[in-house]
Structure 1
Amino acid sequence: MSQHEISVNIPQALDPVYANRIQVAYKEDEFTFMFLHEIPGTNQARAKSIVSITPKHAKNLLAILARSMKDYEEKYGTIQAPSEKAGDTNVTMRGYS
């Protein structure tokens, strides 16, 4: 895979987004990620951003996240994923039409 650098222009008015939950949906030609902020002490979450990408980009994202997590854990220590903790019921939305 060839890599090239690109110049990224980030508008000054673009605000950072904090999300503590992500829902994933997919169909044949796209993956959609809904970044949510779950409100503590309630049964509610607010959508902060929705991003759709092609399946090929989703596969690339998976690879770069795996590589980045490996590097992170080598530097800072192993992270136990929520799905690995007993009793966790954090579910994601899967599939849509």
Structure 2
Amino acid sequence: MEEPKNPSKIDIELTDAQAQGVYSNLAIINHSPSEFVVDYLSLMPGMPKARIVSRVILTPMHAKKLLGALAENVRRYEALFGEIRDTDAVPPAPRGEA
């Protein structure tokens, strides 16, 4: 039996719809002893409701691996492009009044 040439390589299938992705500007995370649930939401300015665009359910081990991978990627991003600043303190956009 022939061994795979690169056992760590995973072939990934992606539909056209998945390749488009979804936009999320808010995430809500809940957990139980057995899983983490990440709801990704889209909250548009002036709209009273946020819409869940995706829900991802992870084991605790995979949630911790995701945390590490995100931290490493943020570190790399900031090394290239500078610090990511929190925008929560951004003043509201003008309402078009003169």
TM-score by structure 2 length? 0.76
| Percentage of identical aligned residues | 33
Q: Does 1:79 align with 2:84?
A: yes
- Cα RMSD (Å) of the superposition? 1.9
Residue number in structure 2 paired with 1:4? 8
Counterpart pick for 1:58 among 59, 63, 82: 63
Shift of 1:4: 1.3
Shift of 1:5: 1.6
Q: Which has the larger radius of gyration?
A: 2
> In the aligned structure 2, how far is the partner of 1:34 from the partner of 1:40?
19
> In the aligned structure 2, how far is the partner of 1:82 from the partner of 1:32?
24
Residue number in structure 2 paired with 1:67? 72
- Extract unaligned runs of 5+ from structure 2: 1-6, 91-98
State the aligned residue count.
Answer: 83
Check conservation: 1:20, 1:38, Cα contact below 8 A: yes
Q: 1:39-71 CA distances to partner (integer Å, 9 max, x unpaired)?
A: 211221011010101000000000000000000
- Extract unaligned runs of 5+ from structure 1: 87-97
Structure possessing the higher relative contact order (Cα contacts under 8 Å, 6 or more residues apart): 1
> In the aligned structure 2, how far is the partner of 1:63 from the partner of 1:4?
19
> In the aligned structure 2, how far is the partner of 1:82 from the partner of 1:29?
33
Q: 1:14-58 CA distances to partner (integer Å, 9 max, x unpaired)?
A: 341100100001000000000100021122101101010100000
